[in-house]
Amino acid sequence: MNRLAAAGASSWCWLGVLVVGLAMEGGALFYQYVLDYWPCVLCIHVRIWVLGLILVSLLGLWLRRNRGLLVTGYLLVAGIGAGLLERSWQLLGVERGTIEGTCSMESGLPAWFALDNWFPKLFKPLEPCGYTPELLFGVTMAEALIVISVALVLVGLVLLVATLMRAGARGA
C-alpha cells in the first residue's frame, strides 16, 4: 500500500490522469470534426465530466504534496468516474434501446454554467441521441466509456485507501 500511496502522490500519476482526460476529449473532437459524428446531449455531458477530470488532474499536479488535498483529489477522481459512469450507462441504454426519453437537443445546463453557449464548438449538442460510433474490434464509444469510468472510480478509491492507510500507519 505504501508503494501505491507513493505512486499516487507522484507527478506521473496526475500526468497519467491528465493524458487520459486529454485523449478522451481529443478523441471526441476527432470523431466530431474529422469523422462527422456529431455529439448528442449525453455526449456533451460526458465531455463536461471529462473536462472536470482534466481540471482535477491539473490541480493534483499542482497540489500533490499536500496530503489533505491529495485525498480530496482522489475523492474527486472517484466522483467524476461515478458521474461519468452514470452518463455512460444512460448513453449505452439509449444506444441499445433499453432507455428512452432521456435525450433532447437542449443541454440541460443552468444559465450560470452555459458551456454550450460559451464554447459551442465543444459543448453544443448537434444531434439527438441514438448510437455511438464503433471504436475498435466492435466496441462502441459508450461501451468504452463504461470501462474507463469504472477504472477511474477504482483508481480513485484504491489511491484514496492507500493514502489513508499510509497516513494511519505514520500516526500509529
Domain at 77, CATH number: 1.20.1550.10
Residue 58 confidence (pLDDT): 95
Structural domain total, the chain: 1
Question: Residue 108 region, left (φ>0) first, then alpha (ψ -120 to 50), else beta?
Answer: left
Q: Is 73 buried (19+), middle (13-18) or exposed (0-12) by CB count in 10 A?
A: buried
Q: Is 39 buried (19+), middle (13-18) or exposed (0-12) by CB count in 10 A?
A: buried
Residue 169 confidence (pLDDT): 57
Residue 133 confidence (pLDDT): 85
Residue 168 confidence (pLDDT): 58
| Cell numbers that stand for 166 in this block | 499510509
Q: How far apart are CA 3 and CA 92, in angstroms?
A: 36
Residue 103 near residue 94, CB atoms below 8 Å: yes
Domain that holds residue 89: 2-171
Q: What is the pLDDT along the chain (172 residues), one digit of tens a residue?
A: 677 677 777 788 899 999 999 999 999 999 999 999 998 888 999 999 999 999 999 998 888 777 778 888 999 999 999 999 999 999 898 888 787 766 777 777 888 988 888 998 899 888 888 778 888 888 989 999 999 999 999 999 998 888 888 765 555 4
Residue 172 confidence (pLDDT): 44
